[in-house]
Structure 1
Amino acid sequence: MAGRLLLVWLLSLAGLDVQASVRQAPEPELRALLQRTVAEADSFQDRFEAQVWLLDMSTRLTPYIADPQQRLELLRLVHREASKAGLRPELVLALIHTESHFDRFAISSAGAQGMMQVMPFWKAELGRPQDNLTDNATNLRYGCTILSFYLRKENGNLSRALARYNGSLGRQAYPTKVIGFWYDFWYVKP
């Protein structure tokens, strides 16, 4: 019964028709996939937190990534890399939303690559020319580390850190867009 109440609550947060959703049990494959993902999610405080966050974010991510397994794998990576870098995972999702709309093969006109649009010169700077910036784990590690560095450099000023990340320091359009996606689409109260 507690599981059903949790599902009703999560579905209501996502804006879904709770009555219709409760009548249909989750697909067994999705349930098994979520269980495996939760078991592999090493950056969460506990299993319940992992289940709630992954289900909530997976629902929000559906318009951008149709495959449930790909969504959960990406979310686990985002949570892990953001947590390692001391960032809120939802902020990283907002940045990805802004930068690439979750297209791991995105390449900007300036040459930035992957979901977090990391510039390839970073590979040479680190002496790692073999790194593939379209690999989500690699891209997230680079992007989260870079954003975390800029956030520390700017003494916690998120707007300035985001502008540095984007190479647009002094302009507000980019930080405003990322913060807008964060608060309007991805934000979860701590």
Structure 2
Amino acid sequence: MTMKPAADRGSPLSRRLVLRRMALGGAAAGALMLALPRSARAGAQIEEPLIDSVRNALSAAIHSNAPPQLEFQDTDSRLAYLRWLGEMSQRLKRKIPGHQERLELLQTVWYESKRAGLDVSLVLGLIQVESNFRKWAISSAGARGLMQVMPFWTRVIGDGDANQLFKMQPNLRFGCVILRHYLDRERGDLFMTLGRYNGSRGRAPYPDAIFANQRIYAFKDRAAA
């Protein structure tokens, strides 16, 4: 059986057809409805004009072919990372049951966050608010994936393939690069940065939600202390 693209399966028309079949008592239709990507609650970035130097810098950051290879200055730093990885894996166990999938996600979040100069707990908190760790999530505005990146970014600084945003590593790369870009534009003001990322600049609910969820993923390395 050939599966339709995720965007088609999540369209309003598709959902209405599924709901109609469920009303008729089709068990298979019920299973299909559970498989459909649920809408994300968060908003989305607003397309803004970029000067050439900024566009080129963002594009270069997105297209870097460097794999997510973690580098540590010394053994203590590596051990601290492994303790963080083990703790975060336990915290995400209910959201992401697969052990290997959890580790791959956390490793990539760590790499892309550090690469963009962002706090890892902030990025994890943002992912929870944006998609609840569902890589197939689609918002009502059309934002996609774990960090709910708007498809226009793939046209502005990517290769134009918006389906890449449903893949873990490209989505995290786009999300972290965009968040870093907004943080630079807001001169380090994280409150305004998060509002801009959400398309609700200057309003409190979204940044407050991120900060609250960031605390869930704060890590105190007792072993190092």
Same fold (TM over 0.5): yes
- For normalisation by structure 2, the TM-score amounts to 0.64
The one-letter amino acid paired with 2:112 is: E
Larger radius of gyration: 2
- 1:79-135 alpha-carbon deviations (Å, 9 max, x no partner): 000000000111100000000000000000000000000000001112511351011
Q: Which of 82, 89, 92 is the matching residue for 1:58?
A: 89
Q: Which of 187, 209, 221 is the matching residue for 1:155?
A: 187
Provide the aligned length of Structure 1 versus Structure 2: 150
Shift of 1:188: 2.4
The 5-angstrom pairing of residues 125-144 of structure 1 reads 125-130=156-161, 132-144=164-176
Aligned to 1:145: 177
Aligned to 1:42: 70
Q: How large is the RMSD of aligned CA atoms in angstroms?
A: 1.6
Q: Runs of 5+ in structure 2 lacking a partner? A: 1-67
Which structure has more relative contact order (CA 8 Å, sep 6+)? It is 2
Once residues 69 and 92 of structure 2 are traced to their aligned partners in structure 1, the CA distance between those partners, rounded to angstroms, is: 18
Is 1:94 the counterpart of 2:122? The answer is no
Is 1:75 the counterpart of 2:103? The answer is no
Aligned to 2:134: 103
Shift of 1:50: 2.0
Aligned to 1:172: 204
- 1:143-190 alpha-carbon deviations (Å, 9 max, x no partner): 00011111111111111100000000121100000001112x111258
Identical-pair percentage: 46
- For normalisation by structure 1, the TM-score amounts to 0.75
Aligned to 2:218: 187
Higher helix share: 1
Q: Runs of 5+ in structure 1 lacking a partner? A: 1-39
SS of match in other structure, 1:133: helix
